[in-house]
Amino acid sequence: MSLASLLLLADGRLPSGGHAHSGGLEPQIANGRVRNVDGLAGFLRGKLATTGLVSAAFAAAACADVTRSAELDGGLDARTPSPALRKASRAQGRALLRAGRAMWSLPPIGREPHQPVALGVLAAAAGLTPADASIAAAHGLVTGSASAGVRLLGLDPYAVHALLARLAPECDRIAAAAAARAGDPVDDLPAAGAPLLDIGAEHHATWEVRLFAS
């Protein structure tokens, strides 16, 4: 493992478009489900256990075998009922590939793969392991939404980072469970869903004024 490469891939400053997405947090704040740090904690734990597990497993699988990218991409489509979320995932995947091509030599995997697939391919190109790819996916899921929470709710950034520190063991556990499934057939990979995220994303896509793209 190259620790420096893993840190580079997980860095929120990587120009991959993640800053424009709240990970589904903005609509949950608007409907009153998340109001403070405690609410953000529940939101992040729920995401980790559902879409976080799925994203980490697919990133690990793509890293383990980049030739599976097309079928993994189809598997993520089947696990993402919301058209708005599929669009957001592919937009982030496209931006991530653009950043990755500036750093490493990447195999052809299509123009707009889902973000976890693109992340796994970049991890492989950087010489990282499936376990590294899964931790980068899980880490990015919680830190992206946490950063959005600071902006949307005006939360104390120190309190939010204290929350992220408390969530670190859970993030590691989810990533390890996901990495252990990297060699599974696509149909056997995790398929945990979060219906409120799907519903919220569809409503969010109709807003005329919003801070985040998703």
pLDDT digits (tens, 9 = 90+) for 113-148: 999 999 999 999 999 999 999 999 999 999 999 999
Which residues lie below 8 Å from residue 154, measured CB to CB, with a gap of 6+?
Answer: none
CA torsion angle 49 75 178 63 (round to 10): -140
For 79-116, write each residue's pLDDT tens digit: 999 999 999 999 999 999 999 899 888 888 877 899 99
Residue spans of the domains in the chain: they are 3-8+22-192
**Can you give the three-state secondary structure of the chain, one letter per residue?**
CCHHHHHHHHCCCCCCCHHHCCCCHHHHHHCCCCCCHHHHHHHHHHHHHHHHHHHHHHHHHHHHCHHHHHHHHHHHHHCCCCHHHHHHHHHHHHHHHHHHHHHCCCCCCCCCCCHHHHHHHHHHHCCCCHHHHHHHHHHHHHHHHHHHHHHHHCCCHHHHHHHHHHHHHHHHHHHHHHHCCCCCCHHHCCCCCCHHHHHHHHHHCCCCCCCCCC
For 32-73, write each residue's pLDDT tens digit: 999 999 999 999 999 999 999 999 999 999 999 999 999 999
Whole-angstrom distance, CA of residue 198 vs CA of residue 81? 7
Q: Give the per-residue pLDDT at 213.
A: 82
Name the least confident of 17-21, 69-73, 184-188. 17-21
Confidence grade of residue 151 (pLDDT, cut at 50, 70, 90): very high
For domain 3-8+22-192, the question of CATH label 1.10.4190.10 is answered with yes
- Structure tokens, 59: 């990133």
Nearest to 134 by CA among 110, 109, 112, 117: 117
Model-level pTM? 0.94
